Chain A
Amino acid sequence: MALRESPLASMHEAAGAKLVEFASWRLPLQFSTIAEETRACRTNAALFDISHMGVFVLRGREAAPAVRRMLTKDVTAIPDGCAAYALLCNDGGGILDDLIVMVESQTAVGLVVNAANHDKDAAWLRQHLGGRDVEMDGRHGRGFAVAVQGPRAEEVVRTVASGPLPEHFATWAHVEMAGARVVASRTGYTGEDGFELFGDAADGPVVWQALLDTHLGLVPAGLAARDVLRQEMGYPLWGQDLDEATTPLDAGLKWAIDWTGEFVGREALARARPTRRRRGFRIEDVGVARAGAIIYGAGETIGRVTSGTYSHHLGAAIGQGYIDLSAKAEVGDDVEIEVRGKRLKARLAKLPLLPAKTQPSWSKVKGKTQP
């Protein structure tokens, strides 16, 4: 199968980026070094190509109520111009995908989904729309998407954009950037303040270049840095830390469920008795634990690693995995993780491993109904 190309591919090639295959897309893994790119994101700002993310827009009289029936989050209660993290569950409460839902109005709702799940989600959404008065528009391959993340992200985006930017976390607005119409969403996958920018594929290169031309310390960063940054924040990645056999309760994502109203999977989730829980860890030995490594507590198998990497920022190998609740292991407990036959000392840690530096969310801002 031919790989999908980002509209920014030629720019990445010109920049000498190392490109890899990810979810049937050819995407930049690395521009300089992971250490440098992650540091830029935590201290200045980093620019990511996220054009592989799937985007669906559902329009029609019944758009919001129809989407509400499929998501754990009550879309009908999200104000216009706001967004939320939500899960798409199957009848058993297993996670089909995790996504960002963006509400323009009760008759226009956008979903930003994982690239790897795009086709599956499209089929599921179509099937569950039934005969409702809703039209679904996918725009795979027709759009560009980039993320500007870091303490200087606002300064960077403000320099290029005209018009007011969304102020609170998880709010969004239409803005003009370098002559292009762009949706600017104050969201991200790094734990830093920042924006995700969506526009037409043809405008991608101009916007990417205009952002870099601000010379405010913004550096392009690849998927490898993005993976480290999200692991420092304990954010799950579908396919590694989440799958259809895992419920939001197992994953510690109960906060993304609104129990009011009906949605697919609600009944199963209300009855579910979780037997394991997603936890973070920090390795205190020399070594890195990867997905699949067994976690031991008091000599017994108590869990399994689902993501692991090394954080230059924390100076330690870190990761996340699922721990059996029967083990009664708590945050701060010492465990061992087996890597190539050796058991490394590790400690269960609270997620996130670093405090988030995002703006206060629209849902936390008192007396606020519109962004």
Chain B
Amino acid sequence: MNFADDVQYTETHEWMRREAEGVTVGLTDYAQGELTDIVFVELPEVNRHVDAGEEITSLESVKAVGYVYAPITGIIIAVNEKLSKQPELVNQDPYGEGWVARLQPEEPEETVDLLDAVGYRHKIENPPEEEEP
């Protein structure tokens, strides 16, 4: 499993990367693996305003449906159009070609409480203990 170092992670398995054009958002490698083969990506609406934690879009896989939530409040300024023809890019290159949307943050200097690669890896590798019945 791959944990990219140049992104921040949410508890709900998105990653975000601050770039010159805005904040790029995608699904983590762990999340794409859990979903299995992604077959449809509903492209988010450009210019839509989303609050942090709001659903941006859904992805259908062979086994289940997954959701991408906004890690930060802002406006959707771009979507990865390639995913409508090649949804498998999310599986193949989750931190690169498989990006989902780009946001223009409402407050560019806003700091959000997200995990770094070490923290996210720790969360994935140490799931909370299930209670014995």
Interface residues of A (CB under 8 A from B): 18, 29-30, 33-35, 224, 228, 286-288, 290, 309-310, 312, 317, 340
Task: Determine whether the beta carbon of B63 is less than 8 Å from that of A224.
Answer: yes
Task: Determine whether the beta carbon of A34 is less than 8 Å from that of B60.
Answer: no
A311 to chain B, nearest CB (A): 9
Task: Determine whether the beta carbon of A286 is less than 8 Å from that of B36.
Answer: no
Task: Determine whether the beta carbon of A309 is less than 8 Å from that of B40.
Answer: no
Which residue of A30, A287, A290, A317 is within 8 Å of B36 (Cβ)? A30
Task: Determine whether the beta carbon of B58 is less than 8 Å from that of A340.
Answer: yes
User: Is B106 among interface residues, defined by CB-CB distance under 8 A?
Assistant: no
Task: Determine whether the beta carbon of A34 is less than 8 Å from that of B42.
Answer: no
Which residue of A18, A29, A286, A310 is within 8 Å of B42 (Cβ)? A286
Task: Determine whether the beta carbon of A33 is less than 8 Å from that of B91.
Answer: yes
Residues of chain B with a CB closer than 8 A to A340's CB: 58, 65
Interface size range of chain B in the complex: 10 to 19
Task: Determine whether the beta carbon of A288 is less than 8 Å from that of B91.
Answer: no
In the complex, per-residue mask of B15-40: 1 if CB is within 8 Å of any chain A CB, else 0: 00000000000000000010011011
Task: Determine whether the beta carbon of A34 is less than 8 Å from that of B58.
Answer: no
Cα distance A110–B61 in the bound complex, in angstroms = 37
Residues of chain B with a CB closer than 8 A to A310's CB: 37, 39-40, 60-62
Task: Determine whether the beta carbon of B60 is less than 8 Å from that of A288.
Answer: yes
The secondary structure that dominates the A interface is mixed
**Contact (A224, B62) CB under 8 Å given A33-B91, A288-B40:** yes
Interface residues of B (CB under 8 A from A): 33, 36-37, 39-40, 42, 58, 60-65, 88, 91
Which residue of B33, B37, B60 is within 8 Å of A35 (Cβ)? B37
Residues of chain A with a CB closer than 8 A to B60's CB: 287-288, 310, 317
Residues of chain B with a CB closer than 8 A to A287's CB: 40, 60
Task: Determine whether the beta carbon of A29 is less than 8 Å from that of B40.
Answer: no
Residues of chain B with a CB closer than 8 A to A29's CB: 36
Q: Return the chain B residue nearest A288 by Cβ.
A: B60
Which residue of B33, B39, B64 is within 8 Å of A18 (Cβ)? B33
Residues of chain B with a CB closer than 8 A to A290's CB: 64-65
The 6 nearest A-B residue pairs measured at CB: A310-B39, A34-B37, A288-B60, A34-B62, A310-B62, A286-B40
A312 to chain B, nearest CB (A): 8
Residues of chain B with a CB closer than 8 A to A309's CB: 62-63
Residues of chain A with a CB closer than 8 A to B62's CB: 34, 224, 228, 288, 309-310
B32 to chain A, nearest CB (A): 11
Q: Return the chain A residue nearest B33 by Cβ.
A: A18
Cα distance A89–B33 in the bound complex, in angstroms = 39
Residues of chain A with a CB closer than 8 A to B61's CB: 310
Q: Return the chain A residue nearest B132 by Cβ.
A: A1
8 inter-chain pairs at a CB distance below 8 angstroms, sorted by A residue, are: A33-B36, A33-B37, A35-B37, A228-B62, A287-B40, A288-B60, A288-B65, A310-B39
Q: Return the chain A residue nearest B84 by Cβ.
A: A286
Q: Return the chain B residue nearest A29 by Cβ.
A: B36
Residues of chain A with a CB closer than 8 A to B42's CB: 286
B54 to chain A, nearest CB (A): 16
A308 to chain B, nearest CB (A): 10
Residues of chain B with a CB closer than 8 A to A35's CB: 37, 88
Task: Determine whether the beta carbon of B39 is less than 8 Å from that of A288.
Answer: yes
B60 to chain A, nearest CB (A): 5
B6 to chain A, nearest CB (A): 25
Q: Which of B58, B60, B62 gathers the greatest number of chain A CB atoms within 10 Å? A: B62
Cα distance A35–B61 in the bound complex, in angstroms = 11
Residues of chain B with a CB closer than 8 A to A288's CB: 39-40, 60, 62, 65
Residues of chain B with a CB closer than 8 A to A224's CB: 36, 62-63
Cα distance A340–B58 in the bound complex, in angstroms = 10
Residues of chain A with a CB closer than 8 A to B33's CB: 18
Q: Return the chain A residue nearest B58 by Cβ.
A: A340
Residues of chain A with a CB closer than 8 A to B63's CB: 224, 309
Q: Which of B60, B61, B64, B91 gathers the greatest number of chain A CB atoms within 10 Å? A: B60
Cα distance A55–B64 in the bound complex, in angstroms = 31
Cα distance A76–B36 in the bound complex, in angstroms = 45
Residues of chain A with a CB closer than 8 A to B88's CB: 33, 35
